[in-house]
Structure 1
Amino acid sequence: MTTRLSPWLFVLVMAVFPLWLGDQYILYILTSTGIFIIGAMSLNLLLGYTGQLSLGHIAFFGIGAYTSALLSLGFDLDLGGEQPFVMAPQPVWVAFLGGILVAALFGFLIGKLAFRVRGAYFVIVTISFAQVMRMVALNWVDLTEGPMALNNIPPLSVWLPWDGVIPLYRKEYNYLLVLAVAVVCFLVIQRLVQSRVGRALVALRENESLARSVGIDVTRYLVVATVIAAAMAGAAGGLYTHYIRIVDPDVFMFIYTVTMVIMVVTGGKGTLAGPIVGGLAFGILPELLREVARPELQWIIYGVAMIVVVFFLPQGIVPAVSNWVASRRKRVAATALGLRKETSA
């Protein structure tokens, strides 16, 4: 019972956090970290449960960000005809959902293409895809404004019974929105990995040849995982663009994928809580170091912390803690059993 309630208690604590937190900067950091935790959760679906390392995962994040921004701002596109194609500004939630759908579509296309290869070839395909998307965003100036960036992006809004529709300008509202989306993504992933699809994905990760031999359609299940992961990364990108309210080609930078990989691996890949724990630890750590160390020393400490975690906790923080708790319970149970035997004797 306690195990089932623990995640909801954690969500409750995080939800009331803004009510007593007075520092708006810390709230901004937590919101930004939460957005990348959603991205890390989506990456964990591929890296942790299928064993496929996608180093171009940030492409789906950027696609969601740009699509949501363009739909909410409106755009016109010259397709070579007499009249340009004109897209009027759409409601922000329609734009947000559009970003998720477009990211999922690209996930389907890349999944169909990339999963024909494995290993290093798959990594190269995903990296190349992210770099292509960055170059498109940088050079298609008529659509994306290139390095000048898309700005004045409208924030997401909500309807409240006492206020009507209000734009989410305040950091507290954005924080709660990111938390809500993270909870939804967590529940979707939890339901998926505990289903028949999830068991098939784990079978592919453990032994692909054996999975094929028992009739598992490898490409189909990998594409399903890629589509869902891409949609979640697109949602994270949409949250990012409507929160920061500006987006430029740097959103496709490789360092963001590395950040997500760090969150997944240090927290514990293939676990539901791993990306969350790793994201909170290594998303907030740079901000904590900023107060006590010079910039060059901050990155040294950050790197050493990662090396320590990987060296002493090779499976990640969450599996290590789970194993410690399990072994402690066994010792307590063995001790209690021994005391009962002594008492009965």
Structure 2
Amino acid sequence: MRRLLPLALLASLLVLPLLLQANPYLLNALIITGILTIGAMSLNLLLGFTGQLSLGHIAFFGIGAYVSALTSLGFDVEIGFGHRIVHEPWPPAAGFLLAILAAGACGYLIGRLSFRVRGAYFVIVTISFAEVVRLVALNWVELTQGPLALTGIPAMSVGVPGLGNWTLRTKLQNYYLVLAVGTLCYLLVARLVGSRFGRAMRGLKENESLALSVGINATRTLTIAAVISAAMAGAAGSLYAHYLRIIDPDVFAFSTTVSMVIMVVAGGKGTLMGPVIGGLIFGLLPVALRPVMAPEAQWIVYGIVLIVILFVMPRGIVPGLSALLARRRPAPAPLLKPSPAVQR
């Protein structure tokens, strides 16, 4: 059942655009939801499997967006003492790879600095880092255009050997690109969680003292998890920039981090399908409510749905449904019946 559910969901998402008859509005909602779901999966790697809450996770998303955009657009910026850096535009695919590397490097930096402490200290470091990066994007106008936004970002292009480059301009093409990247991220997380490294992460989450006593290096393990998590968030940010083709410092909005946390917690933190299910529900719920409710009422219903889910299933949707199915499953019959002598 655990293997059939992801396959069934993937098959449904593959044929969904055909059922929607390429509706631009719904495809746009699905693309944005998919990008945020990738961000939620990256956050779940920290929050769900290591127990470390990052409230500045949007920083890695924004870094990926800006690095990929600037790599594709090119720039000419002065760095002081009469020196300038001139960068000619590179293909968007190169920007995508650099976005992953840059976000992962920032994840390494934050991990090395903050994983020597725990709890509230790590949360404060991540929030502070996100705010610093937002202020840099807002005030370094020569590089980022500040509040004027970076515009004209080229669409993502994919090179196929022997067939040339394909530029993904339509919503349908971007939908399948996001689905492909999301599937790869899911498989990567599943592979990590099932490995020895994943057992080390869960060990630190469940009982750090015991994990340290058996030789697990806590700082190293958590830092590697932060690097992979940040790199995935950077990939999501790159997809976001090349899809919208315009970004500004609002990409670092704290509300986006809150949305990712809601997707992880409501779906079921520490599960593979939790962020996916939570992302689809809370990413598409505002879209479903928009035609029938005023904006204020939409957020009220959004909050009520979240409260009801967490009240009925405190561990999240996926663990709650798994527990419900386990209770309804009939108990296996005994292999051997007791003899009459034993019964007497």
Please list every run of 5 or more consecutive structure 1 residues that lacks an aligned counterpart in the other structure.
none
Distance 2:265 2:38 in 1: 15
Distance 1:20 1:320 in 2: 30
Over 3 Å off, 4+ runs: 159-164
Which structure 2 residues correspond to residues 166-185 of structure 1 after superposition, within 5 A?
166-185=166-185
Deviation at 1:165, TM superposition (A): 2.3
CA displacement, residues 1-27 of structure 1 (integer Å, 9 cap, x when unaligned): x54343223212211211232221001
Report sequence identity in percent.
Answer: 60
SS of residue paired to 2:192: helix
Deviation at 1:83, TM superposition (A): 4.4
2:7 maps to amino acid: W
CA displacement, residues 296-316 of structure 1 (integer Å, 9 cap, x when unaligned): 111111111111111111000
Distance 1:314 1:63 in 2: 33
Distance 1:146 1:111 in 2: 28
CA displacement, residues 99-134 of structure 1 (integer Å, 9 cap, x when unaligned): 110000000000000112111111111101100000
Partner of 1:250: 250
Distance 2:193 2:2 in 1: 18
Higher mean C-alpha displacement, 259-268 vs 152-161: 152-161
Residue 5 of structure 2 is aligned to residue 6 of structure 1: yes
2:5 maps to amino acid: S
Please list every run of 5 or more consecutive structure 2 residues that lacks an aligned counterpart in the other structure.
338-344
Distance 2:136 2:203 in 1: 37
Distance 1:4 1:115 in 2: 34
Aligned length: 339
Deviation at 1:246, TM superposition (A): 0.6
Question: What is the TM-score of this pair, normalised by structure 2?
Answer: 0.94
Higher mean C-alpha displacement, 245-254 vs 289-298: 289-298
Deviation at 1:80, TM superposition (A): 2.2
Partner of 1:94: 94
Q: Is the 8 A contact 2:93 2:158 kept in 1?
A: no
Q: Is the 8 A contact 2:264 2:278 kept in 1?
A: yes
CA displacement, residues 30-89 of structure 1 (integer Å, 9 cap, x when unaligned): 010000000000000000000000000000000000000000000112122444110100
Partner of 1:104: 104
Distance 1:111 1:119 in 2: 13
Distance 1:262 1:6 in 2: 22
Residue 279 of structure 2 is aligned to residue 287 of structure 1: no
Distance 1:182 1:318 in 2: 19
Partner of 2:220: 220
Deviation at 1:228, TM superposition (A): 0.1
Partner of 1:115: 115
Give the RMSD, CA atoms, in angstroms.
2.1
Distance 1:121 1:175 in 2: 38
Which structure 2 residues correspond to residues 147-158 of structure 1 after superposition, within 5 A?
147-158=147-158
Distance 1:117 1:162 in 2: 51
Partner of 2:341: none
Partner of 1:230: 230
SS of residue paired to 1:93: helix
CA displacement, residues 146-179 of structure 1 (integer Å, 9 cap, x when unaligned): 0001011001013469974231110000000000
Q: Is the 8 A contact 2:53 2:123 kept in 1?
A: yes
Distance 2:83 2:113 in 1: 34
Partner of 2:59: 59
Deviation at 1:291, TM superposition (A): 1.5
